[in-house]
Amino acid sequence: EAGVAQSPRYKIIEKRQSVAFWCNPISGHATLYWYQQILGQGPKLLIQFQNNGVVDDSQLPKDRFSAERLKGVDSTLKIQPAKLEDSAVYLCASSYAAGTSYNEQFFGPGTRLTVL
């Protein structure tokens, strides 16, 4: 079974530029998550989708971050404009469905963003 795919794996940009990350979840997984992981910390949830609807985006800095999941499959996360503090690894994860008795999330390899 193919895992969660993310691209690009690495990205270097200058502050105030924009950047986009792409995620393809495991086939059949209804729930998709985007996390931000700053060096030395655990991942922090940014946004959760159930199919193509947003379940929770309370920790997404909406003045600069946006995310969409058209057709309930692939997802993109965008930052515009980027700040130095956005330097982090951006992880995408998927799970079969919310509402099941457990919540095993499958993570992609992440995109390492460096903002100069």
CB of 99 to another protein, least distance (A): 5
Q: What is the footprint of another protein within residues 89-108 (CB under 8 A)?
A: 91, 93, 97-108
Give the whole-angstrom CA distance, residue 62 versus residue 78. Answer: 10
32 is written with which tokens? 């998709």
**Residue 53 binds another protein (CB under 8 A):** no
Written as one letter, the residue type at 50 is: Q
Find the DSSP H helices in 1-116.
none
CB of 101 to another protein, least distance (A): 6
61 is written with which tokens? 């800095």
* Binding footprint of another protein on the chain (CB under 8 A): 4, 33, 40-45, 48, 55-56, 91, 93, 97-110
